[in-house]
Amino acid sequence: MLFLLIGFETVAVARRQVALLAVVMAIPFSPVARATSVSIPMLALSFRTHDQGLGVAVMTWAGTRSGVSVALALTLPGSPYRQHLLVICYTVVVFSIVVQGPTMPASIRRLQARYAQSLYPRGLQ
């Protein structure tokens, strides 16, 4: 039902002019904000292990956004910025589903390989 609402709202929003710069900036800003929101609690709880960076990287890339953020965006009251916020939210959700989701296994493999290289110097492998 939620994605049906997304489809209807996207058709309505697509016909209006949207701030393209805000949409383009939202895509890289989203993982940066996620990395910050994951790193601060880990630092506050003093999880100072060698693989802390691996955990932050995986949790950042795995932080896909979808149903909750779209539902919250749809409940925004009418304002001049509502349409822009909806488009930005949809853009981040689509990026998350189309890019972050399918690349998750490869990202974890690449991070595990880097982690293994840092644990075992080249002479010990």
Per run of 10 residues, the mean pLDDT along the chain (length 125 residues) is 68 62 86 86 69 76 75 83 82 84 85 72 55
Position of tokens 């910025």?
Answer: 81
pLDDT at 89: 84
Cβ–Cβ < 8 Å for 40, 56: no
Q: Is the dihedral of CA 103, 109, 113, 118 positive or negative?
A: positive
pLDDT at 104: 84
The answer to whether the pTM exceeds 0.75 is no
Cβ–Cβ < 8 Å for 83, 23: no
pLDDT at 61: 82
